[in-house]
Amino acid sequence: MIHRRSNDLHFSQIMLLLRRRRGFIASIVLLGGAAATAIGLTLPPYYTAKAQLLYQAEAQIGPERSEDAAVDTLVEMLNSPGHLRRLTKSFELDPGSTGTVALAEPTQSDTIKMPTTSAPSVLDYNALDQGLNVYKERQSRLVAVTFRSTDPETAALAANRAVKLYLDHESDFQREARAQALRSVSDRMPDALARIDQAEGALREHKIKFGLADAAGSDPNDKQIGEFTRQLIIAQSDLAARDVQLENLKAQHRSASEGGTEIPTGFARVAATDQLDNTDSDATQPLSEDQQLEITQLTLGRDAVAARLSDIEKQLTTLQEANAKTTPAWIRLRELEREANAAGEAYENLQRQKDDLQGQGSVRLSVRVVSMADVPDLPSSPNPLLFVAPALIASLLIGGFLAVLFERLDQRLRSERDVEETLDAPCIGMVPAISSRVRANMSQLLRNEPYAPYTEAIRSVYVAATRGSARSILVTSSALGDGKSTLVRSLAAFAERLGQRVLVIDFDLRHAPMSALVDKDKRDKTPGAETRANEPTWEAMIRTTKKDGIDYLTMPRLYLDPLTVLLNEDFSGLLKQLRQNYDCILIDSAPVGGATETRLLALMVDRVIFTVRWGVTEAGTALAAVQQLRASSATAQSIPIAVVVNQVDLHAHRRGGYSEPVAMASAPA
Query: What CA–CA distance (Å, rounded) separates 71 from 137?
Result: 10
**pTM summary value:** 0.53
Question: Rounded distance, CA 473 to CA 583, Å?
Answer: 11
- Three-state SS at 564: helix
Contact 386, 127 (CB under 8 A): no
- Choose the most confident range, by mean pLDDT, from 3-17, 437-451, 452-466: 452-466
Which of 205-209, 284-288, 371-375 bottoms out in mean pLDDT, i.e. has the lowest?
284-288
Q: How far apart are CA 457 and CA 484, in angstroms?
A: 14
**Length of the chain measured in residues:** 669
Instruction: Read off the pLDDT of each residue in 433-459 and give the average, rounded to a whole number.
Output: 84
**Treating both helix axes as pointing N-terminal to C-terminal, what angle do 388-409 and 22-42 enclose, rounded to 10 degrees?**
150
| Reported confidence tier of residue 519, pLDDT bands at 50, 70, 90 | very low
Which three-class secondary structure state does DSSP give residue 147?
strand
Of 139, 146, 176, 141, nearest to 59 (Cα)? 141
CB 160 within 8 A of CB 98: yes
pLDDT at 605: 87
Instruction: Output helix, strand, coil percentages for the chain, rounded to the nearest 5.
Output: 55, 10, 30
Residue 293 has a pLDDT of: 78
pLDDT of residue 61: 45
pLDDT above 60 for 99: no
- Comparing 547 with 599, which gets the higher pLDDT? 599
Torsion angle (degrees, nearest 10) of CA 648, 649, 651, 652: -100
β-pairing verdict for 472-477 and 584-589: parallel
What average pLDDT does the segment 35-64 reach?
79
**309, 232 Cβ separation under 8 angstroms:** yes
- Give dist(CA 135, CA 281) in Å, integer: 95
Task: Give the integer Cα–Cα distance in Å for 434 and 17.
Answer: 27
Say what the pLDDT of residue 80 is. Answer: 93
Closest CA to 622 of 481, 466, 346, 419: 419
What percentage of the chain reaches a pLDDT higher than 90? 18
Amino acid at 211: G
| Confidence at residue 431, expressed as pLDDT on a 0 to 100 scale | 92
* Strand (E) or helix (H) holding 148: strand 142-149
Q: How many CB atoms lie within 10 A of CB 184?
A: 13
24: Cβ contacts below 8 Å, ≥ 6 apart: 399, 402, 403, 406
d(CA 220, CA 322): 11
Asked if 443 and 656 touch (Cβ cutoff 8 Å), the reply is: no
Sign of CA dihedral 565, 567, 572, 573: negative
> Which of 242, 261, 228 is CA-nearest to residue 305?
242
Q: Look at 256 and 493; give whichever has higher pLDDT.
A: 493
pLDDT in tens, 567-579: 766 677 778 888 8
Neighbours of 326 (CB within 10 A): 14
Q: Report the candidate in 612, 586, 595 with the shortest Cα–Cα distance to residue 514.
A: 586
- Distance, CA of 540 to CA of 542 (rounded, Å): 6
With a pLDDT cut of 70, the percent of the chain lying above it is: 77
- Residues in Cβ contact with 389 at an 8 Å cutoff, skipping those fewer than 6 apart: none
Confidence tier at 458 by pLDDT (50, 70, 90)? very high
pLDDT, residue 269, reads: 37
Is a pLDDT exceeding 60 seen at residue 364? Answer: yes
Nearest to 655 by CA among 22, 28, 29: 22
> Dihedral (C-alpha) 192, 198, 200, 201: value to the nearest 10 degrees?
160
Residue 224 has pLDDT above 60, yes or no: yes
Contact 400, 22 (CB under 8 A): no
Measured in degrees and rounded to the nearest 5, phi and psi for residue 623 equal -65, -40
CB burial readout 283-317, b (16+ within 10 A) else e: bebbbbeebbebbeebbeebeebeebbeebeeebe
Mean pLDDT score, 616-642: 83
550 C-beta neighbours (distance < 10 Å), count: 20
Instruction: Determine the residue type at 373.
Output: A
**Spatial CA neighbour of 171 closest among 454, 365, 371, 430:** 365
Q: How many CB atoms within 10 Å of residue 380? A: 15
Q: Which of 47-61, 84-98, 111-125, 616-630 has the lowest mean pLDDT?
A: 111-125
Identify the DSSP state of 554: E
For every residue of 397-435, DSSP letters joined together read HHHHHHHHHHHHH--B--SHHHHHHHH-S-EEEEEEP--
Residue 517 exposure: Cα atoms within 13 Å on the Cβ side = 31
Is it the case that residue 60 has pLDDT exceeding 60? no
Position 611 scores a pLDDT of: 94
> What residue spans define the domains of the chain?
11-43+382-408, 45-215+333-380, 220-325, 424-528+535-666
CATH of domain 424-528+535-666: 3.40.50.300
pLDDT tops 80 at residue 312:
yes
Of residues 318 and 82, the one with the higher pLDDT is 82
Q: What does the pLDDT read at residue 244?
A: 80
Tell me the average pLDDT of the chain: 78
* Mean pLDDT, range 373-401, rounded to an integer: 88
The pairing of beta strand 502-507 with beta strand 551-554: parallel
Q: Residue 158 has what pLDDT?
A: 93
Give me the pLDDT at residue 284, please: 45
CA–CA separation, 600 and 603 (whole Å):
6
Burial of 373 (0-12, 13-18, 19+ CB in 10 A): buried
**For position 538, what pLDDT does the model report?**
65
Task: Kindly state the DSSP code that residue 644 receives in the 8-state scheme.
Answer: E
Contact partners, residue 500, CB within 8 Å, separation at least 6 = 583, 584
Average pLDDT over residues 543-570: 72
